[in-house]
Chain A
Amino acid sequence: MTARQLPAQQQPAQQRSARQPAAQQPPVIQIRHLTKAYGHGDATVHALRGPLAPGTGEPEGVSLDVEQGDYVAVMGSSGSGKSTLMNILGCLDVPTAGRYLLDGIDVGHLDEQQLSLVRNRKIGFIFQSFNLVPRTTALAQVELPLAYAGVRAAERRRRALAALSLVGLSERAGHRPNELSGGQQQRVAVARALVTAPAMLLADEPTGNLDSRSTRDVLAIIDDLNASGRTVVLITHEDEVAEHAKRVLRLVDGQIVSDVRQAPVDGPPPALRALAGARP
């Protein structure tokens, strides 16, 4: 795998910060009393609510800190608000109330233009279903975020090809989504999420539609990315997937009910550590 080399040449600053002790870094994600409600009146659905405030009985909202370099798995039953949380973290949706600070910046105060910059530069998003742009080759898909970032064509191509080879799809660069298997499509989506070398990778059930082999491929890529210093938040239903994370959150009815740390923030992800242990 070339995963550890690629980000190093792309974003040296990122690499440096990952090596510093986590305690000196402010959390990448800070959410405070975040709520999200859909609909009005009786039909209101509180997709995110957090604990009820002791006095009033009103939802108090979800509060959460995620450290730089952490690897968080979010679990919970269907409809528990995982995707809602993820969409807010990815600046795709806005909360009903509460604050979201990304790298110390309050996202709620950003305008449309600045938000698109944040999505482009800081976040790599992998969707629940593949969400590739139709009729566009794998290479062009991966080039898209770079194009929006204003990277020149030659450089764009070089980096997109590097990202594709990272996910093992170099020879599929010219294929369109309808010519790719589900697992290959998901790997293109991963390549697209990591090509801009974002500090944070958000993945909504990246392996939800994949067989066990493709799941292993995609998770290996994500593990490598985390090992190179990226913050990863992923949603999953499967315990095997959650075992890859350093920290596991459980959501029930829009509320965080458990928060378990499986590995230290500044170490390698558990799967890679086990690998290193098996082959010293």
Chain B
Amino acid sequence: MLRFALGGLAANKVRSALTMLGVLIGVASVILLLAVGNGSSQAVKDSITSLGTNSLTVSSTNLRGSATAARKLTVDDAKALAGATDAPSIKSVAPVVTTTATALYGNISYTPGSIVGTYPAYFETANQKVVQGDYFSNDDVLNSRKVAVIGSTTAKQLFDTEDPVGKRIVLGGTPFTVVGVLATKGSTGFNDPDDVVIAPLPTVQNAFTGFGSVSQILVQADSADATTAAQSDITRILMGTHAITDPGKVDFRVSNQASLLTARESTSKTFTVLLGAVAAISLLVGGIGITNIMLVTVTERTREIGIRKALGAPKAVILGQFLTESTLLSVLGAGLGVVAGIVGSRFSIVGIKPVVIPQSVLGAFAIAVAIGLFFGSYPANRAASLRPIDALRHE
């Protein structure tokens, strides 16, 4: 039977190949598009964890149309947050100032993406880990020591293969001792999180920004679940220090990185579903292609069916022959589609590394074969039900 079916397919090589191509494209696109969608949501998930799921950022806002000039965030605000006894959801607080300056090491000059002045709590809150050397300590902060932890990109630019720990670099005229190098986070977008120099807050304020306001206050909540509680605690405390009574007129904003990214993740889920739908449609079109070809084949071979029936071919045999043919088409097409999909997902597409979902491979294959059976069964059944004389008389 398989030999008959193969013969039938071989009799029309181009037609069979094109039909298989339809199924191939359907299956490959299901696998590939779902892999791309999956890859992008994986990337979002990774960047959530790299940012720290329970970190909150407080930044100041200039309320438009507000009569009173907005108060900037200060170290005192941070101290108020850290010292609050009635806010158990707040684990740690790190005021942050950012600036830029050119770094010199020997005769190498390089401008890192940013220079951050902060407290040691920053490292944990922002999920920055030191892989070489050590973090700077609270003692370094209290004594305004000129020490710095540098990101891996910065380290590469300034020191190349040298060990940066213990070396001195000059930042905007002030010499700093490098005490640690951060683990590489990898670029997720336009800015490189590894192109950074982190130093104690008072040191940076003293050398660059002055002792006025801070750019941000980074707060770490007790846990990912406590972020909402922490958010309201922060708002309450800062409204106190800023002497604001109307919640509509706050001059700062507490943003939750995790929720921002959750939103982005759900967007990418929608994206995946859409991609999947497009792919499913192409799979369906491939299935309709099979029906079409089988209908043509059946019509073309109606006389042959009549002869076979006149020779005593039972209905089941004719049915089996055409079903085998259409299933063979879909199995071969789907098999090649799986190969194409998996090979295709080895390349990164529009900056996204596709991650193949094993279920999608099995699913697409199974669906394609089922479609072959289902769509093939109509023409096959039509062929097998013909009365021999009607089939023989067929023009």
Contact = CB atoms under 8 A, between A and B. Distances in A.
Interface of A: 87, 90, 92-94, 112-113, 116-121, 125, 127, 131-135, 144-145, 148-149, 192, 196
Interface in B263-319: 303-304, 307-315, 317
A119 B311 contact: yes
27 contacts: A87-B389, A90-B310, A92-B309, A92-B310, A93-B388, A113-B315, A116-B309, A117-B314, A119-B312, A119-B388, A121-B312, A125-B311, A127-B307, A127-B310, A127-B392, A131-B303, A131-B310, A131-B392, A133-B307, A135-B11, A144-B308, A148-B308, A148-B312, A148-B314, A149-B312, A192-B311, A196-B312
A119 B309 CA distance: 8
Contacts of A87: 389
Contacts of B11: 135
Q: Which of A90, A112, A127 has the most CB of B within 10 A?
A: A112
Interface residues of B, number: 18
Contacts of B388: 92-93, 119
A149 B308 CA distance: 12
Contacts of B314: 113, 116-117, 148
B308 A125 contact: no
Nearest to B317: A148
B311 A148 contact: yes
B307 A132 contact: yes
Q: Which of A90, A116, A132, A133 has the most CB of B within 10 A?
A: A116
B346 interface: no
Contact of A119 (B303, B304, B310, B392): B310
B7 A135 contact: yes
Contacts of B309: 92, 116, 119
B167 interface: no
Nearest to A136: B7
A93 to B, nearest CB: 4
Given A92-B388, A92-B392, A134-B304, A120 B7 contact: no
A112 B319 CA distance: 13
Nearest to B390: A93
Contact of B311 (A94, A113, A135, A145): A145
A136 B389 CA distance: 21
A145 B312 contact: yes
